[in-house]
Each structure stands twice: as C-alpha cells, then as structure tokens.
Amino acid sequence: MAKANVESIEALEQFSGSIESLRDASRKNADDIRDQFQRVSMWLSKELPEYWADQLRISQKRWTAAREDLLRCQAKSRAEDESSCMFERKALERATARRQLCEQRVRTIPQLAAQWDQFLQESALCVRQLEDLSDSLLPLAQNRLQTMIETLKQYAG
C-alpha cells in the first residue's frame, strides 16, 4: 500500500470531493459514449445506405439522360465533325464517374457497417469498465476515504 504524508484533513476532504466529481464525470462520459455509438450505428445502418441509394438512383437517371443527349447529338451531327458533341461526351463522362462512385459507395457500406460492429463490440468492454469504475470502485474508494477522514477527525479532536 502506498504511503502518503497528509498534513491536512481538509486536503483529504477536497480529494474526496474530487473522487465524487470523477465519478459523476465518468458516468456522464459513459452515457455520452453510448449515445455517440448509437448515433453512428444509426447513421451507418439507415441514413448512409439511404443517402447513397438515392444518389445512385439520381446518378443513373443523369447517366441515362446524358447518354440520350449524346446519341441525339451524334444523330444530328455529321460523322466528319470531330468537335461536335464534345459537351455531351464530357457530360456523359462525368455522369459515368458519378454513377461508378455511387455504386462503389453502395457496395462499401455493408463492409463499413461490419467493421463498425466489430469496433463497437471491442469498445463495449471499455465502456463497461468505465461504468464499473464509476459505479463500484470510485464509491468504494470514497467510502474508505470518508471513514479515514472521520477517524482522523476523531483522533485530532
């Protein structure tokens, strides 16, 4: 057991108050961590997949429209004219790139969710340890310190 050179009962009482503050902060932090974990889980399981599914639908519509615009332009222009339909070709390239990005994101989200679930399981132990600290270890330490303070007060008195 560690030895301390305490010269003031008031310092011990201050330390007891600090333990109480640490206990309250630990509880609040554990709750905050759980809330943040829940928010990220909801975002990964519902909001993000919905967003990218919507973006994929939009990008597919834009790709279809860009392709139709290019086909129309090509049908109107002469075959010898290389510079004709340049705007439509570029628009189709951009639409293709966006569609590919959206498809890639839609495929990636389940992998991200699985990685998040693994992280969540690993982190749950740390959160439980923080709760154990605030619910059992810190109150036990504070009770023992209070008992020692009372004993010292009786001895000093």
pLDDT digits (tens, 9 = 90+) for 26-46: 999 999 999 999 999 999 999
Of 2, 12, 1, which is closest to residue 153 (Cα–Cα)? 12
Each residue's pLDDT tens digit, 93-141: 999 999 999 999 999 999 999 999 999 999 999 999 989 888 899 999 9
pLDDT at 82: 62
Structural domain spans, the chain? 49-156
For the chain, give the mean pLDDT.
90
Q: Tell me if the pTM is above 0.85.
A: no
- Find the Cα–Cα–Cα–Cα dihedral 31, 33, 35, 37, rounded to 10°: -150
* Residue-level pLDDT at 1: 53
Distance CA 20, CA 18 (A): 5
State the number of CA atoms in the 13 A half-sphere of 144 facing the CB.
6
